[in-house]
Amino acid sequence: MRKAFIVSLLFCTIFGASHLQAQWAKAYSGLQEENPTAVLLIEEGKLLVAGFSILKTAPTFYTLELEHQSWFMQLSEDGNAAERHMLDSEKIGADSKSSIQEWVRSLRPTEDGGYILAGNLETGWSEGGLINYTKWAFLLKLSSEFQIEWQRFFGNDDPTTAEKALAVEPTDDGGYIAVGSTSSFGMGDRDVWVMKLDSAGQVIWQKAYGGEGREEAHLVRQTPDGGFMVVGYATSFQPETDPQDAEMAEEPGLPEASRIWVLRLNPEGALIWQQVCGRDHDLASSMVLTPEGAVWIGGSTEGEPEEGQESHRNIFLFKLSEEGDIAFQRTFVNESDAWLTHLIQRGENKFLAVGTRELEGDKDLLLIQFSDTGHIDWMQIFGAGEVDGEISQETGAVVAVTEKDEIMVVGNTSRLGPQEDDLLVLRLTPDGRIPNCDLMRPLERYPFKDLGTLPIATLVEFTASEVGIAEIEFKVNPSSTGMVRDVCQAKKNLLRR
């Protein structure tokens, strides 16, 4: 079986105020609901953002009501010049119209100045009078000019199985390490899937790790000794502290009890150690591997409510030593819901995180700087409140720091852009501000609670196996244009507080 992607170019036009300043907030229209998943700083102060859009369409025999289409976009330093590239998929060899939905999950720079993308897609097509649905993983290598150099497509034709590539990283030998999940091979319902590839995208080795339940990996980093740190979640254990959740997990339709799973692998993928952290239903969204080998993990946890109070999602921050020992497990509590989506190291002893704060149905983009002890230095939020009689929702996705120590934040805004649910990009001062823009404002630091050393659950079983491979090819086509709006300059016309 062969498939094709069509990569098309979208050039954005500009409207709004012409006044330029070093810091800014801009919204970019695209397809429909924009979901950024990765950000890179490239040459001459430019920014490269990747993600996917959710298109609301009328369901057909081949498609769902919601379709997903992936893209990556290059922005100039002032945010005004934007060039968008779309990934359009097309089934080759089908005897009728096909439907393919793509999710770009990871975008990383390569040593030759190009880029490597990882993601997953779902297909539905007619072939020989039958309707087929399959779920595949893909890797795509691009040149510095966004020309396709090679592509790999992983999975099989069994509609009951699914492969996902959720993160990819270049390795010191010029190759790549990719992680995700597979249900084609392994022990349980779904297993962590790790692939080591050479510089041409050929698989050197691939393994599945897990037990009898469901496991998935969505973060990976190479360690100084050439091995790998992998982070995801695991359900293949019996929770020692929440027996009621374990019973609920056996009932159909209820969520399984899952915890954060950290795997330390050697260069050949053999397990050195594993650690299961946190409490049931914790979610790890980002990882930092420090030069000393320590592992920082940020995400969210379900808070334990006081009597008569509702529970909230709370921010958590974990730190593990190079040997897997827990340095601290910390949660930050507030009357609102809050979660982290991306965590990076800033300099030698600071960490910067972006996420979302939700209070009484109003979402604000949240930016936090942590000290090297895991305490909050400062917090900022970006949000509009009410716009034209409706609450505007601003969410944070990814963050980066420029050579000038400015902070770049990428997220989504529901009401501040040219259309609804547009891409939101902020260029901030080193302390997270935009001068003369009251949409960005400080937030009182959340109190924290140390969880101590929680009981560690051990997985039932471990195994390694292989996943099938299929080939695909790609084509390039041009596309239409979009718009940019300077949010801070236009706010007086947009906001009705």
Confidence of residue 287 (pLDDT cuts 50, 70, 90): very high
- Rounded to an integer, the average pLDDT of 47-53 is 89
Comparing 292 with 453, which gets the higher pLDDT? 292
| pLDDT tens digits along 107-118 | 999 999 999 999
- Rounded to an integer, the average pLDDT of 168-188 is 90
Phi, psi dihedral angles at 45 (to 5 degrees): 75, 10
**Residue 100: partners with Cβ closer than 8 Å, 6 or more residues away:** 3, 89, 90, 91, 121, 122, 123, 124
Checking if the pLDDT of 288 tops 90, the result is yes
In a domain, 432, yes or no: yes
- Rounded to an integer, the average pLDDT of 351-374 is 94
Q: Comparing 153-167, 214-228, 263-277, 279-293, which segment has the lowest mean pLDDT?
A: 153-167
Instruction: Note the pLDDT of residue 472.
Output: 40
Instruction: Note the pLDDT of residue 455.
Output: 43
Comparing 377 with 277, which gets the higher pLDDT? 377
Checking if the pLDDT of 247 tops 50, the result is no
In a domain, 423, yes or no: yes
Q: Which two tokens stand for residue 262?
A: 């950290």
- Percent of all residues in the chain with a pLDDT value above 70, rounded to a whole number: 74
Contact 315, 336 (CB under 8 A): no
Q: Name the helix (H) or strand (E) containing 493.
A: helix 487-494
Instruction: Note the pLDDT of residue 334.
Output: 79
Instruction: Note the pLDDT of residue 275.
Output: 86
Confidence of residue 47 (pLDDT cuts 50, 70, 90): very high
Q: Name the helix (H) or strand (E) containing 276.
A: strand 271-277
In a domain, 331, yes or no: yes
- C-alpha span between 337 and 311 (Å, rounded): 9
In a domain, 179, yes or no: no
Give exposure, 128-153, as e/b (b: 16+ Cβ within 10 Å): eeeebebbbbbbbbbeeebeebebbb
Checking if the pLDDT of 103 tops 50, the result is yes
Instruction: Note the pLDDT of residue 423.
Output: 92
| pLDDT tens digits along 437-463 | 989 999 887 776 766 544 444 443 344
By C-alpha distance, which of 282, 265, 262 is closest to 327? 262
Instruction: Note the pLDDT of residue 11.
Output: 29
Highest-confidence range of 152-156, 249-253, 458-462, 471-475, by mean pLDDT? 152-156
| pLDDT tens digits along 416-437 | 888 888 999 999 999 999 998 9
Instruction: Note the pLDDT of residue 112.
Output: 95
Q: Which two tokens stand for residue 33?
A: 């609901």
| pLDDT tens digits along 53-88 | 877 554 444 444 457 778 888 899 998 877 888 876
**Tokens 């490597």 belong to which residue?**
116
In a domain, 439, yes or no: yes
Q: What is the 3-state secondary structure (H, E, C) of 357-418?
A: EEECCEEEEEEEEEECCCCEEEEEEECCEEECCEEECEEEEEEEECCCCCEEEEEEECCCCC
Checking if the pLDDT of 208 tops 70, the result is yes
Highest-confidence range of 9-23, 37-51, 294-308, by mean pLDDT? 37-51
In a domain, 395, yes or no: yes
**Residue 434: partners with Cβ closer than 8 Å, 6 or more residues away:** 23, 24, 25, 426, 427, 428, 440, 488
The pTM assigned to this predicted structure is: 0.84
Comparing 116 with 327, which gets the higher pLDDT? 116
For the chain, how many helices (H) and strands (E)? 2, 37
Instruction: Note the pLDDT of residue 127.
Output: 57
Q: Comparing 30-34, 207-211, 334-338, which segment has the lowest mean pLDDT?
A: 30-34
Give exposure, 278-307, as e/b (b: 16+ Cβ within 10 Å): bbbbbbbbbbbbbeeeebbbbbbbebeeee
**Residue 481: partners with Cβ closer than 8 Å, 6 or more residues away:** 10, 11, 12, 13
Instruction: Note the pLDDT of residue 52.
Output: 85
DSSP assignment letter at 323: T
Domain tally, the chain: 1
Checking if the pLDDT of 361 tops 90, the result is no
In a domain, 36, yes or no: no
Range of the domain at 430: 279-453
Confidence of residue 3 (pLDDT cuts 50, 70, 90): very low
Mean per-residue pLDDT over the chain, rounded = 78
Instruction: Note the pLDDT of residue 204.
Output: 92
Instruction: Note the pLDDT of residue 200.
Output: 94
DSSP string for 414-478: SSSSSSSSEEEEEEE-TTS--TT-TTEEE-PPPPEEE--SPPPP--S--------EE--EEEEEE
Give Cα separations from 227 to 173, 239, 406 (angstroms).
Answer: 12, 29, 32
Give Cα separations from 113 to 145, 189, 403 (angstroms).
Answer: 9, 39, 18
Q: Is 491 helix (H, G, I), strand (E, B) or coil?
A: helix
Q: Is 243 helix (H, G, I), strand (E, B) or coil?
A: helix
HSE, side-chain direction, 13 A CA sphere, residue 450: 9
By C-alpha distance, which of 237, 231, 228, 232 is closest to 188? 237
In a domain, 402, yes or no: yes
Checking if the pLDDT of 171 tops 60, the result is yes
By C-alpha distance, which of 16, 2, 1 is closest to 422? 16
